[in-house]
Amino acid sequence: MKTFLLSMILSLAFSLSAFAVDGKPVSYKSGDETVNGILYTPAGKGTFPALIVIHEWWGLNDWVKQQAEKLAGQGYVALAVDLYRGRVADNPDLAHELMRGLPEDRATRDLRAAYDFLASQPNVKNNRIGSIGWCMGGGYSLDTALAEPQLAATVINYGHLATESSELKKINAPILGLFGGLDRGITPDDVKKFQQSMEKLGKKIEVKIYPDAGHAFENPNNKQGYRAEDAADAWQRTIDFLASTLKK
């Protein structure tokens, strides 16, 4: 009953978003290749902060599109990038195959090109562009911060981490990291080492570890691992963090 009520509250909050949203397919160049995505734009005139939205290992599926649309409803131009070139997995074996087959250098190039695409849009504040991702996309959100020094904010939802100072010193974006305490792939020790390395370099970082959550706890399609209350808290922390970094 408690979970049902929480879901209803979240649904109502989504329906009462401050901005109506328009979504449309777009494409942009990444080197000699073309990348597709969906651009969600708040209604109204003026310029908006923007977000690169990065999918899980499943690909650009409906859940990720919904997250991008929700973020646009909060007043961000949100570009949901398709790193898999049109492929979407419906089972873990295919998702693993697609993730393993994605060249990291190509993905990073695609995401840097996504930054340039957003920065070129007349309705985007080009000094207020951030990134957000989940699972595999959470790791690539961090990689985008490593690769793009002008990035203004980064949200990592249980994505892979780095601890080498020589790498982390490249980051200028404030970071919000959201992780599960029961995650066996990205453990609390990994998270703490990452946080300590960032703080030692004087970087801005905020971390929350949910002790009773595992990997992918924010996605309700993860039926055994979904934690509704933790997901709601993570969403609120995300909205607050983005407002403080991209809307200031």
Could you tell me the residue ranges of all domains in the chain? 21-246
The 10 Å Cβ neighbour count of residue 23 is 15
Q: From the first residue on, what is the mean pLDDT of each consecutive set of 10 residues in the chain (248 residues)?
A: 46 50 94 97 92 98 98 97 98 98 97 98 97 98 97 98 93 98 97 97 98 98 97 98 96
- CA angle 162–170–118, rounded 5-degree value: 100
57: Cα separation from own chain's centroid: 13
Which residue matches tokens 């979904």? 226
* Residue 5: predicted pLDDT: 43
Predicted confidence at residue 248, as pLDDT, reads 80
Q: What is the pLDDT of residue 11?
A: 45
| Residue 3, pLDDT score | 46
Per DSSP, what are the bridge partners of residue 50? 77, 129
Query: Which pTM was predicted?
Result: 0.92
| Token pair belonging to 17 | 């978003």
Block residue for tokens 């000094």 = 127
Q: Which fold, 21-246? A: Rossmann fold (3.40.50)
pLDDT, residue 208, reads 98
Please spell the DSSP secondary structure of 147-166, one letter per residue.
Answer: H-TT--EEEEES------HH
